[in-house]
Amino acid sequence: MSGRSANPGRMQDADGLYSMVAVDQRDSLRTMLAQSGSVPVTDDQMREFKVKVARALSPVASALLVDTDLALQPILDADALAEGCDLIVAVDAISYTPQGVAQATALRKDLLDAAWDERVAGLKFLLLWTPGQWLGCDQAEVQQFIDEAARAGVDSVLEVIVREADGSPPSSGRQAQLLVEAAKQTAPLGATLYKTEVPYRNQASSEDVTQASALITDSVTCPWVVLSSGVPGGQFPQAVQRTARGGAQGFLAGRAVWRNATAIPEQAAARYLSNESVATMAALREALRAGRAGHVDA
């Protein structure tokens, strides 16, 4: 498969770049909300927070990544999705260690036959890649995801996080090497958008991060974007600029944009999202444009 987008122009901003927000977090979001002192965190509280994020940030995002359990229908029912912001739906099931670290993923095959709302432009499948395999699923499952997305006429967004063979997170230097290996292995499967980590978790020189990003660009057959996990929120705009200089075409960020809103009361959270989080998105878009301006296509 070619990796060509099923929806040319969708999920992209006016510059043809990807400035996207993730709010598909499940157990990790529940843990963040619990830190504000509201324990236990109910499903309704999770839904309300995701709707707040959609209402505040979809006007400044090219796409919003949501889950089906707690976000998709509540956001649509609340009419919280701004016109021009597309939806990406997560179709992965994630299992965690007692410490809250993702240890395996599987494809939600029960969702593959769903009749998606017309605002859904893509489906997303998270993979934990370790040399030679994926933790919790196999290549046939990954290919099924890509093929079923194509059949449904939506994009296939493949999110890849790298791990060592024992499932542990690699060191920063090793992580950059594994990101390139993972891109080379998964590219032939034909996803239409590739999402992965910032090389070195941005804990290296600008030249090193950009060079590793260029190697990822050379390895994939579709556009790719970076996620914010693993990078301190204050550093993420810099990381976006560095990776864009190496060929990344955007970002799909969650907690780097809205995490601080989980630790404050509900009314204050809505104000934070509408002000500070919107400002963060503007800074990220500026960093993305600056990085792309410095990128030279091969």
166/75 Cα distance (integer angstroms): 38
| C-beta of residue 225 within 8 angstroms of C-beta of residue 252 | yes
- The pLDDT of residue 197: 98
Residue in the block written with tokens 């901003």: 13
* Closest by CA position to 190, among listed 164, 161, 225, 155: 155
195 is a catalytic site residue = yes
Q: Evaluate the CA torsion angle 165, 168, 173, 175 in order and state its sign.
A: positive
pLDDT at 100 over 80: no
Which fold is adopted by the domain 18-293?
TIM Barrel (3.20.20)
Angle between helices 43-57 and 27-34 (to 10 degrees): 100
Look at phi and psi of residue 281 and say left if phi exceeds 0, alpha if psi is from -120 to 50, else beta.
alpha
- pLDDT tens digits, 237-290: 999 999 999 999 999 999 999 999 999 988 899 999 999 999 999 999 999 999
Q: What is the identity of the amino acid at 261?
A: A
Q: Are strands 92-96 and 120-130 parallel, antiparallel or unpaired?
A: unpaired
Instruction: Tell me which DSSP letter residue 1 carries.
Output: -
Domain extents in the chain: 18-293
- The pLDDT of residue 2: 43
Q: What would you measure as the largest C-alpha separation in the chain, in angstroms?
A: 52
pLDDT at 1 over 50: no
Q: Is the pTM of this model over 0.85?
A: yes
Which residue is catalytic, options 50, 52, 124, 195?
Answer: 195
- pLDDT tens digits, 188-239: 999 999 999 999 999 999 999 999 999 999 999 999 999 999 999 999 999 9
The tokens for 180 are 């390139």
The tokens for 176 are 């950059």
What are the backbone dihedrals phi and psi of residue 266, each rounded to the nearest 5 degrees, phi first? -55, -50
Q: Evaluate the CA torsion angle 220, 3, 127, 119 in order and state its sign.
A: positive
Question: pLDDT-derived band of residue 296, with 50, 70 and 90 as boundaries?
Answer: low
- The pLDDT of residue 297: 61
